[in-house]
A and B are shown apart, each in its own frame.
Chain A
């Protein structure tokens, strides 16, 4: 037995050593390559015929004077997959991904440390590009930690959607990043349940029956009568309201304020919970996901292309799922959810490559087309999206053949980007967490709000709560 314990401990130690060692190799190639490839023309000349491809050589040549390690900070592997497939990294440059999950603000903490240390970091350790979500993009866009990308050579925004550029612009209109996707969020409904409740499953007719909150709330009662839930999470409609706020979370004097849209969400959810129109699960809870199976009783979900393609796994389950029994329409109000912006940190030592990546993902039509056709994204290139929207042969099997790109294209004009603050992510998250306790009946509303205010005080000392 003692031997067994000794063996176990030894294994634990070996594992610990391996885990520590895993990050090291990433830096090694950087030291190796310059020795071979320092002359600008040396490397590309080997593989390609001398005359053939001047256009392709340009970025590689321009790179030669720049850093050899390109550090990208991200919170998941999504963009990494697209990057590795569709972007050709110049020779001699190693891409190093620093990935930290975003829960409880962990990604931002990691990123903040790196950005605040940017000036003192060695060239190979500098952040060269980082990813940010809509909820906290302003924190970086409004700070000196990011730089003007038009000066780096990203100047053509004629094909991108306006709100994605607004989101990445500081108060003076300086653009500091681009989004490789556009995330208009739709009402995703079960065709069979809609047929039962509304008498139709046709997207245009369903939209006509659900295009305002009054209609939506009335239908919820009908759904309940037939034994269905309208939504599966207390926070399912949160984004639809919060994206249409007419005032930011904090006013000019840093006072926390509740927008009428947020109040409306609270009132609607109270009504839904009291009447049993919704479950009280969180947006990402198992309890909600179980409703996506074929035997689920929930009619409506809300989400963009990435949501139904990548987060509704239960619905796509070959045995218990119900792929094809879904459709999308705009729903009661235009809104978006998420979206990943690529931001340009100040002080990067790879500005050319950075600009090249940004241009590739918004203006390279071939890449953008592949994002739509192969990766099921709604790209941030209007021309490419229009091509798919008009294609009668294009459709999503999951949505029963419906052309989702056409629906999303029509929605984008109504999306607004305004009234955002640097605090949005954790305020939205905190409000939902503490109000969930109220909706579940654990505490009364007053206590829930008091707990939310305490949370705000602890999280953001600068905000004054009621």
Chain B
């Protein structure tokens, strides 16, 4: 394309459209440099300093090298490395929500796009499953907090049904809290994922499905041999964005556990941990170090997922040829 464009002006007639192309994408790059690249570099720079507020007194910034990182990864007196624990929490919370989210979304997307099922009232269903995403995460968390409190409706129902004889403090137990957080994230995001995947499936040439059917493929075969391989690019995109969103999980656990990550800090995510440093003492050094680690982890995991899934995708056509 470029070479073609460059040749044309030399012929003396055509106009260089490439120049306009660059001009049109310029605003994005300016915005990217100002609002993403520079802050990112500044975060790294800040993470090398001791810089916080003690009451109303500013301490630093004093250059301390990698001391903040060393502190981040040094175990406390019981041998736990906080950073790793909170990273583990984040991954567990994300997986508990994201795996069902993608599976359900995939299933719904296939149902909605299937010309054989030809569901009526699709617009209605699509709107409804997207609805939870329109509610503020904070409001959603407060709702669940109230529902599952020791004197909340859930306990009252269980008590009056006679299933339990003493109210359960759900929010003081590790498994229920984690499940609740995952459930909320699932409810909030599966609609969004469904719509993305539907767009992906609708982008696949209908004749593929028809051809498979004529060849006598069962629905399952169509799904695994036709839909899934052709959907792979969108699926990879969905998984990576969900993963980055999941690693940055904050609002739901923050509100549900009142910023404390209870019980025993097992629902404290990486960003909540970061926020602990930033909130009261404006500790830019430590918060910067956590951000940099978070960035490296996100980038690494994204690359890993992208590579492993794309490879599968590039193998897929070959497999189909063998059919």
Contacts and interface: CB of A to CB of B under 8 A. Distances in A.
**Majority secondary structure, B binding face:** loop
Given A460-B281, A461-B283, A143 B82 contact: no
A443 B263 contact: yes
B18 interface: no
B71 to A, nearest CB: 9
A104 B76 contact: no
B78 A1 contact: no
Given A286-B151, A287-B150, A440-B172, A139 B56 contact: yes
Contact of B55 (A139, A281, A450, A466): A139
B265 A451 contact: yes
Interface residues of A, number: 45
Interface string A127-145: 0000000000001101111
Most buried by A among B56, B134, B172: B56
B264 A459 contact: no
A62 to B, nearest CB: 30
Contacts of B57: 143
B277 A442 contact: no
Contacts of B192: none
Given A440-B169, A450-B76, A460-B54, A105 B265 contact: no
Nearest to B273: A458
B20 interface: no
A422 B262 CA distance: 26
A105 B150 contact: no
A115 interface: yes
A148 interface: no
Most buried by B among A143, A453, A458: A458
B297 interface: no
**Majority secondary structure, A binding face:** helix
Contacts of B286: 458, 461
Contacts of B312: none
Interface string A436-454: 0100101100110011011
Nearest to A459: B280
Q: Kindly list the 10 A-B residue pairs having the minimum CB-CB distance in the complex, ordered from nearest.
A: A458-B276, A143-B56, A1-B123, A442-B263, A422-B55, A462-B54, A139-B55, A443-B264, A459-B280, A440-B172
8 contacts: A112-B53, A139-B55, A140-B56, A285-B149, A440-B169, A442-B264, A450-B76, A451-B265
Given A1-B123, A422-B55, A442-B173, 16 more contacts: A5-B127, A143-B57, A285-B149, A286-B152, A287-B149, A290-B151, A437-B263, A442-B262, A443-B263, A451-B265, A454-B82, A454-B265, A458-B273, A461-B281, A462-B281, A466-B77
